[in-house]
Amino acid sequence: MADADRRRRSARAGRGVAWTAVSQPGAGGLGAPALGAPVHEHLGFPGCRKIPLLRDRLEDYEGRIEYWEARTETAWVVAEPVGGVHEGTSRRLPHLVERIAMVRGAPIASFGSVDLLVRDAEGKPDRMMQADETVYLHPERAVTPEGSLVIGEHDQPDVVLEVDHTTDVRPGKLRLYEAWGFPELWVVVPPAGATRRKPAGVTIHRMLGGRYQSVPASVALPGWTAAEIHAGLTEPVTAQTYDVLARVGRALGAREGTGPDDDPMLRALGKQTLVRGLAEGHSRGLAEGHSRGLAEGRAEGLAEGRAQALAAAVRSILEARGLSFADEVSAAVVDVPRNAVVAAAVTCTDAEDFRRRLDARRG
Protein backbone atom coordinates (compact mmCIF):
# COMPACT_ATOMS: atom_id res chain seq x y z
CA MET A 1 0.00 0.00 0.00
CA ALA A 2 1.38 3.48 -0.86
CA ASP A 3 2.32 5.81 2.03
CA ALA A 4 -0.49 8.24 1.16
CA ASP A 5 -3.03 5.42 1.17
CA ARG A 6 -1.64 4.07 4.43
CA ARG A 7 -1.97 7.50 6.08
CA ARG A 8 -5.50 7.82 4.73
CA ARG A 9 -6.56 4.43 6.08
CA SER A 10 -5.01 5.22 9.45
CA ALA A 11 -6.79 8.57 9.53
CA ARG A 12 -10.08 6.84 8.77
CA ALA A 13 -9.69 4.75 11.89
CA GLY A 14 -8.38 7.68 13.93
CA ARG A 15 -5.27 5.90 15.21
CA GLY A 16 -2.88 8.22 17.01
CA VAL A 17 -5.09 11.28 16.42
CA ALA A 18 -7.33 13.04 18.90
CA TRP A 19 -10.51 13.60 16.90
CA THR A 20 -13.36 15.87 17.93
CA ALA A 21 -16.86 14.42 17.84
CA VAL A 22 -19.00 16.60 15.60
CA SER A 23 -22.25 14.68 15.30
CA GLN A 24 -23.77 15.97 18.51
CA PRO A 25 -26.80 18.25 18.14
CA GLY A 26 -25.64 21.72 17.23
CA ALA A 27 -21.98 20.74 16.87
CA GLY A 28 -21.96 21.21 13.10
CA GLY A 29 -21.44 17.63 11.86
CA LEU A 30 -23.63 15.96 9.27
CA GLY A 31 -25.34 14.07 12.10
CA ALA A 32 -26.39 17.35 13.74
CA PRO A 33 -30.11 18.06 13.20
CA ALA A 34 -29.38 21.79 12.94
CA LEU A 35 -27.40 21.18 9.74
CA GLY A 36 -30.43 19.92 7.84
CA ALA A 37 -28.39 17.28 6.03
CA PRO A 38 -30.04 15.00 3.45
CA VAL A 39 -31.31 11.78 4.98
CA HIS A 40 -29.52 8.59 4.01
CA GLU A 41 -32.35 7.14 1.94
CA HIS A 42 -32.54 10.15 -0.36
CA LEU A 43 -28.91 10.12 -1.49
CA GLY A 44 -27.89 8.58 -4.80
CA PHE A 45 -24.51 7.71 -6.30
CA PRO A 46 -24.85 6.93 -10.02
CA GLY A 47 -21.91 5.03 -11.44
CA CYS A 48 -21.25 3.34 -8.08
CA ARG A 49 -22.11 -0.02 -6.59
CA LYS A 50 -22.91 -0.81 -2.97
CA ILE A 51 -20.78 -3.17 -0.94
CA PRO A 52 -20.98 -4.12 2.74
CA LEU A 53 -18.10 -2.60 4.71
CA LEU A 54 -17.90 -2.88 8.47
CA ARG A 55 -16.59 0.11 10.36
CA ASP A 56 -13.64 -1.86 11.75
CA ARG A 57 -12.73 -2.84 8.16
CA LEU A 58 -12.83 0.70 6.81
CA GLU A 59 -9.14 1.31 7.40
CA ASP A 60 -8.11 -1.79 5.46
CA TYR A 61 -10.22 -1.21 2.35
CA GLU A 62 -7.88 -0.28 -0.52
CA GLY A 63 -10.39 0.67 -3.21
CA ARG A 64 -11.82 4.09 -3.94
CA ILE A 65 -14.82 4.87 -1.73
CA GLU A 66 -17.20 7.55 -2.97
CA TYR A 67 -19.32 7.39 0.18
CA TRP A 68 -19.57 5.28 3.33
CA GLU A 69 -22.04 5.32 6.24
CA ALA A 70 -21.87 3.63 9.62
CA ARG A 71 -25.65 3.32 10.00
CA THR A 72 -25.82 0.47 7.48
CA GLU A 73 -22.06 -0.20 7.28
CA THR A 74 -22.31 0.21 3.52
CA ALA A 75 -19.87 1.74 1.04
CA TRP A 76 -20.55 3.04 -2.45
CA VAL A 77 -17.52 2.38 -4.67
CA VAL A 78 -16.94 3.42 -8.27
CA ALA A 79 -18.28 0.65 -10.51
CA GLU A 80 -15.69 1.14 -13.24
CA PRO A 81 -11.93 1.36 -12.57
CA VAL A 82 -10.72 4.94 -12.12
CA GLY A 83 -8.53 5.56 -15.16
CA GLY A 84 -6.46 8.15 -16.93
CA VAL A 85 -9.28 10.52 -17.86
CA HIS A 86 -10.43 10.93 -14.28
CA GLU A 87 -6.99 11.16 -12.71
CA GLY A 88 -5.50 13.23 -15.52
CA THR A 89 -8.28 15.80 -15.20
CA SER A 90 -8.13 16.14 -11.42
CA ARG A 91 -4.33 16.21 -11.22
CA ARG A 92 -4.14 19.00 -13.79
CA LEU A 93 -5.58 21.46 -11.28
CA PRO A 94 -2.55 21.60 -8.91
CA HIS A 95 -0.27 22.48 -11.84
CA LEU A 96 -2.58 25.29 -12.93
CA VAL A 97 -2.96 26.83 -9.48
CA GLU A 98 0.81 26.64 -8.98
CA ARG A 99 1.21 29.07 -11.89
CA ILE A 100 -1.49 31.30 -10.43
CA ALA A 101 0.34 31.27 -7.09
CA MET A 102 3.60 32.42 -8.71
CA VAL A 103 1.94 35.47 -10.27
CA ARG A 104 -0.02 36.16 -7.09
CA GLY A 105 3.20 35.97 -5.07
CA ALA A 106 1.89 33.67 -2.32
CA PRO A 107 1.62 29.87 -2.05
CA ILE A 108 -1.52 27.86 -2.85
CA ALA A 109 -1.73 24.28 -1.55
CA SER A 110 -3.42 21.34 -3.26
CA PHE A 111 -4.07 18.30 -1.09
CA GLY A 112 -5.29 15.93 -3.78
CA SER A 113 -7.92 13.31 -3.06
CA VAL A 114 -8.94 13.60 0.60
CA ASP A 115 -11.37 11.64 2.78
CA LEU A 116 -14.02 13.95 4.27
CA LEU A 117 -14.98 12.45 7.60
CA VAL A 118 -17.83 12.97 10.07
CA ARG A 119 -17.42 11.41 13.50
CA ASP A 120 -20.10 10.44 15.96
CA ALA A 121 -20.35 11.54 19.60
CA GLU A 122 -17.83 8.86 20.58
CA GLY A 123 -15.30 9.96 17.96
CA LYS A 124 -15.89 7.00 15.68
CA PRO A 125 -16.32 7.33 11.89
CA ASP A 126 -19.99 7.98 11.08
CA ARG A 127 -19.91 9.09 7.44
CA MET A 128 -17.12 9.45 4.92
CA MET A 129 -16.92 10.84 1.40
CA GLN A 130 -13.91 11.23 -0.86
CA ALA A 131 -13.12 14.48 -2.69
CA ASP A 132 -11.18 14.37 -5.97
CA GLU A 133 -9.09 17.51 -5.38
CA THR A 134 -8.90 20.17 -2.66
CA VAL A 135 -7.30 23.64 -2.84
CA TYR A 136 -6.34 25.99 0.01
CA LEU A 137 -5.55 29.58 -0.94
CA HIS A 138 -3.96 30.40 2.44
CA PRO A 139 -2.41 27.14 3.68
CA GLU A 140 -0.08 28.96 6.04
CA ARG A 141 -2.97 30.10 8.22
CA ALA A 142 -5.46 27.25 7.69
CA VAL A 143 -5.93 24.18 9.88
CA THR A 144 -5.28 21.60 7.18
CA PRO A 145 -5.54 17.80 7.41
CA GLU A 146 -2.64 15.37 7.52
CA GLY A 147 -4.96 12.46 6.82
CA SER A 148 -8.73 12.73 6.70
CA LEU A 149 -10.39 16.13 6.73
CA VAL A 150 -12.68 16.02 9.75
CA ILE A 151 -15.82 18.12 9.37
CA GLY A 152 -15.99 20.59 12.24
CA GLU A 153 -12.29 20.27 13.10
CA HIS A 154 -10.26 21.23 10.04
CA ASP A 155 -10.70 24.31 7.90
CA GLN A 156 -12.53 23.62 4.69
CA PRO A 157 -10.69 24.10 1.40
CA ASP A 158 -11.46 27.19 -0.65
CA VAL A 159 -12.22 25.01 -3.67
CA VAL A 160 -13.15 21.34 -4.04
CA LEU A 161 -13.03 19.66 -7.47
CA GLU A 162 -15.16 16.68 -8.47
CA VAL A 163 -14.61 14.91 -11.80
CA ASP A 164 -17.77 13.31 -13.19
CA HIS A 165 -16.33 10.87 -15.71
CA THR A 166 -18.33 7.71 -15.02
CA THR A 167 -20.24 9.11 -12.03
CA ASP A 168 -22.77 11.87 -11.30
CA VAL A 169 -22.40 13.89 -8.09
CA ARG A 170 -25.76 15.65 -8.29
CA PRO A 171 -28.03 13.19 -6.42
CA GLY A 172 -25.58 12.54 -3.59
CA LYS A 173 -22.19 14.16 -3.17
CA LEU A 174 -23.36 17.60 -4.25
CA ARG A 175 -26.04 17.57 -1.57
CA LEU A 176 -23.54 16.50 1.07
CA TYR A 177 -21.04 19.22 0.11
CA GLU A 178 -23.85 21.74 0.47
CA ALA A 179 -24.96 20.31 3.83
CA TRP A 180 -21.40 20.42 5.13
CA GLY A 181 -21.03 24.05 4.02
CA PHE A 182 -18.12 23.79 1.58
CA PRO A 183 -17.81 27.31 0.10
CA GLU A 184 -17.08 26.45 -3.54
CA LEU A 185 -17.42 23.23 -5.50
CA TRP A 186 -16.38 22.70 -9.11
CA VAL A 187 -17.91 19.78 -10.98
CA VAL A 188 -16.14 19.02 -14.25
CA VAL A 189 -17.52 16.66 -16.88
CA PRO A 190 -14.68 15.80 -19.30
CA PRO A 191 -15.63 15.29 -22.95
CA ALA A 192 -15.06 11.53 -22.57
CA GLY A 193 -17.71 11.38 -19.83
CA ALA A 194 -20.34 13.58 -21.44
CA THR A 195 -23.89 12.38 -22.08
CA ARG A 196 -27.11 14.03 -23.17
CA ARG A 197 -28.15 14.51 -19.55
CA LYS A 198 -24.63 15.34 -18.40
CA PRO A 199 -22.95 17.58 -21.01
CA ALA A 200 -19.24 18.36 -20.98
CA GLY A 201 -18.27 21.46 -19.06
CA VAL A 202 -17.66 22.87 -15.58
CA THR A 203 -20.35 23.91 -13.12
CA ILE A 204 -19.25 26.21 -10.31
CA HIS A 205 -21.40 25.85 -7.20
CA ARG A 206 -20.95 28.76 -4.78
CA MET A 207 -22.38 28.82 -1.27
CA LEU A 208 -24.70 31.83 -1.08
CA GLY A 209 -27.16 32.26 1.75
CA GLY A 210 -26.59 28.73 2.98
CA ARG A 211 -27.40 27.11 -0.38
CA TYR A 212 -25.43 26.35 -3.50
CA GLN A 213 -26.01 28.54 -6.53
CA SER A 214 -24.45 28.05 -9.94
CA VAL A 215 -22.21 31.01 -10.88
CA PRO A 216 -20.39 31.78 -14.15
CA ALA A 217 -16.96 32.35 -12.59
CA SER A 218 -15.06 31.40 -9.48
CA VAL A 219 -15.18 33.67 -6.45
CA ALA A 220 -12.24 31.98 -4.72
CA LEU A 221 -10.03 32.38 -7.82
CA PRO A 222 -11.53 35.63 -9.07
CA GLY A 223 -12.57 35.90 -12.69
CA TRP A 224 -11.66 32.33 -13.69
CA THR A 225 -14.73 31.40 -15.72
CA ALA A 226 -16.28 27.95 -15.94
CA ALA A 227 -15.38 27.72 -19.64
CA GLU A 228 -11.75 28.69 -18.95
CA ILE A 229 -11.48 26.18 -16.11
CA HIS A 230 -12.84 23.41 -18.33
CA ALA A 231 -10.37 24.27 -21.08
CA GLY A 232 -7.50 24.32 -18.60
CA LEU A 233 -8.43 20.93 -17.15
CA THR A 234 -9.30 19.04 -20.33
CA GLU A 235 -7.51 20.67 -23.29
CA PRO A 236 -3.81 21.04 -24.20
CA VAL A 237 -2.11 23.93 -22.41
CA THR A 238 -1.52 26.91 -24.71
CA ALA A 239 -0.23 30.47 -24.44
CA GLN A 240 -3.84 31.53 -23.92
CA THR A 241 -4.05 29.19 -20.93
CA TYR A 242 -1.08 30.93 -19.31
CA ASP A 243 -2.59 34.34 -20.07
CA VAL A 244 -5.73 33.30 -18.18
CA LEU A 245 -3.71 31.98 -15.23
CA ALA A 246 -1.67 35.18 -15.09
CA ARG A 247 -4.87 37.25 -15.10
CA VAL A 248 -6.30 35.26 -12.19
CA GLY A 249 -3.00 35.50 -10.31
CA ARG A 250 -2.91 39.28 -10.76
CA ALA A 251 -6.50 39.56 -9.53
CA LEU A 252 -5.64 37.57 -6.40
CA GLY A 253 -2.52 39.65 -5.86
CA ALA A 254 -4.42 42.91 -6.27
CA ARG A 255 -6.95 41.71 -3.69
CA GLU A 256 -4.20 40.86 -1.20
CA GLY A 257 -1.42 43.33 -2.00
CA THR A 258 1.07 40.81 -3.42
CA GLY A 259 2.65 40.20 -6.80
CA PRO A 260 5.33 38.28 -8.73
CA ASP A 261 8.13 40.02 -6.81
CA ASP A 262 6.86 38.27 -3.65
CA ASP A 263 7.27 34.79 -5.16
CA PRO A 264 10.67 33.34 -4.16
CA MET A 265 11.13 31.42 -7.42
CA LEU A 266 10.33 34.35 -9.69
CA ARG A 267 12.40 36.68 -7.55
CA ALA A 268 15.41 34.36 -7.80
CA LEU A 269 14.86 33.87 -11.53
CA GLY A 270 14.55 37.60 -12.07
CA LYS A 271 17.79 38.32 -10.23
CA GLN A 272 19.71 35.64 -12.12
CA THR A 273 18.33 36.80 -15.45
CA LEU A 274 19.08 40.42 -14.66
CA VAL A 275 22.68 39.65 -13.69
CA ARG A 276 23.26 37.61 -16.86
CA GLY A 277 21.59 40.21 -19.02
CA LEU A 278 23.51 43.09 -17.49
CA ALA A 279 26.82 41.27 -17.88
CA GLU A 280 26.13 40.39 -21.49
CA GLY A 281 24.72 43.78 -22.36
CA HIS A 282 27.48 45.64 -20.54
CA SER A 283 30.15 43.75 -22.46
CA ARG A 284 28.51 44.24 -25.85
CA GLY A 285 27.46 47.78 -25.13
CA LEU A 286 30.86 48.93 -23.99
CA ALA A 287 32.54 47.33 -26.98
CA GLU A 288 30.20 49.03 -29.43
CA GLY A 289 30.27 52.22 -27.40
CA HIS A 290 34.03 52.32 -27.44
CA SER A 291 34.13 51.77 -31.19
CA ARG A 292 31.61 54.50 -31.86
CA GLY A 293 33.21 56.70 -29.24
CA LEU A 294 36.34 56.94 -31.32
CA ALA A 295 34.29 58.90 -33.84
CA GLU A 296 31.47 60.39 -31.76
CA GLY A 297 33.02 60.82 -28.37
CA ARG A 298 33.61 58.57 -25.41
CA ALA A 299 30.71 59.96 -23.35
CA GLU A 300 28.09 59.22 -25.99
CA GLY A 301 29.51 55.73 -26.54
CA LEU A 302 29.39 54.80 -22.87
CA ALA A 303 25.85 56.12 -22.54
CA GLU A 304 24.74 53.96 -25.42
CA GLY A 305 26.60 51.02 -23.91
CA ARG A 306 24.67 51.40 -20.67
CA ALA A 307 21.41 51.63 -22.59
CA GLN A 308 22.21 48.46 -24.52
CA ALA A 309 23.13 46.67 -21.30
CA LEU A 310 19.75 47.55 -19.82
CA ALA A 311 17.93 46.54 -23.03
CA ALA A 312 19.71 43.17 -23.06
CA ALA A 313 18.71 42.52 -19.42
CA VAL A 314 15.09 43.40 -20.11
CA ARG A 315 15.01 41.17 -23.20
CA SER A 316 16.23 38.27 -21.08
CA ILE A 317 13.49 38.87 -18.50
CA LEU A 318 10.77 39.04 -21.16
CA GLU A 319 12.02 35.90 -22.90
CA ALA A 320 12.13 34.03 -19.58
CA ARG A 321 8.47 35.01 -19.03
CA GLY A 322 7.53 33.72 -22.48
CA LEU A 323 6.68 37.18 -23.93
CA SER A 324 7.40 37.53 -27.62
CA PHE A 325 8.06 41.24 -28.10
CA ALA A 326 11.66 41.33 -26.84
CA ASP A 327 12.93 42.82 -30.15
CA GLU A 328 10.99 46.05 -29.46
CA VAL A 329 12.80 46.76 -26.21
CA SER A 330 15.75 48.92 -27.31
CA ALA A 331 13.70 51.84 -28.56
CA ALA A 332 11.10 51.58 -25.83
CA VAL A 333 13.46 52.00 -22.84
CA VAL A 334 14.98 55.33 -23.95
CA ASP A 335 14.76 58.05 -21.26
CA VAL A 336 13.16 55.73 -18.69
CA PRO A 337 14.82 55.06 -15.29
CA ARG A 338 16.40 51.62 -15.05
CA ASN A 339 14.35 50.53 -12.03
CA ALA A 340 11.13 51.45 -13.83
CA VAL A 341 12.20 49.50 -16.93
CA VAL A 342 12.98 46.33 -14.94
CA ALA A 343 9.72 46.62 -12.97
CA ALA A 344 7.74 46.95 -16.20
CA ALA A 345 9.47 43.88 -17.67
CA VAL A 346 8.63 41.77 -14.62
CA THR A 347 4.95 42.80 -14.29
CA CYS A 348 3.68 43.65 -17.80
CA THR A 349 1.13 41.46 -19.55
CA ASP A 350 1.94 42.26 -23.19
CA ALA A 351 3.78 44.72 -25.43
CA GLU A 352 1.11 47.40 -25.15
CA ASP A 353 1.11 47.17 -21.35
CA PHE A 354 4.93 47.31 -21.32
CA ARG A 355 4.98 50.51 -23.42
CA ARG A 356 2.22 52.05 -21.32
CA ARG A 357 4.16 51.47 -18.11
CA LEU A 358 7.31 52.96 -19.62
CA ASP A 359 5.50 56.02 -21.02
CA ALA A 360 4.18 56.75 -17.55
CA ARG A 361 7.77 56.92 -16.21
CA ARG A 362 9.53 58.48 -19.18
CA GLY A 363 11.64 61.48 -18.26
**Do residue 212 and residue 357 come from a single domain?**
no
**Do residue 281 and residue 139 come from a single domain?**
no
Query: Helix or strand or coil: residue 321?
Result: coil
**Do residue 91 and residue 225 come from a single domain?**
yes
Total domains present in the chain: 2
User: What is the pTM (predicted TM-score) of this model?
Assistant: 0.69
**Do residue 275 and residue 174 come from a single domain?**
no
**Do residue 65 and residue 166 come from a single domain?**
yes
**Do residue 226 and residue 273 come from a single domain?**
no
**Do residue 177 and residue 278 come from a single domain?**
no
Q: What is the pLDDT of residues 117-168, one digit of tens each?
A: 999 999 999 999 999 999 999 999 999 998 899 999 999 999 999 999 999 9
286 vs 288: CA distance, rounded Å: 5
**Do residue 341 and residue 221 come from a single domain?**
no
Indicate the residue among 256, 285, 300 that finishes a domain: 256
Indicate the average pLDDT of the chain.
81
Residue 245 buriedness (CB in 10 A; 0-12 / 13-18 / 19+): buried
**Do residue 233 and residue 335 come from a single domain?**
no
Indicate the residue among 256, 280, 299 that finishes a domain: 256
**Do residue 86 and residue 208 come from a single domain?**
yes
303 vs 305: CA distance, rounded Å: 5
Indicate the residue among 195, 226, 256 that finishes a domain: 256
Q: What is the pLDDT of residues 181-203, one digit of tens each?
A: 999 999 999 999 899 999 999 99
**Do residue 246 and residue 273 come from a single domain?**
no
**Do residue 207 and residue 268 come from a single domain?**
no
The answer to whether 156 touches 183, Cβ cutoff 8 Å, is yes
For 201, the domain range is: 3-256
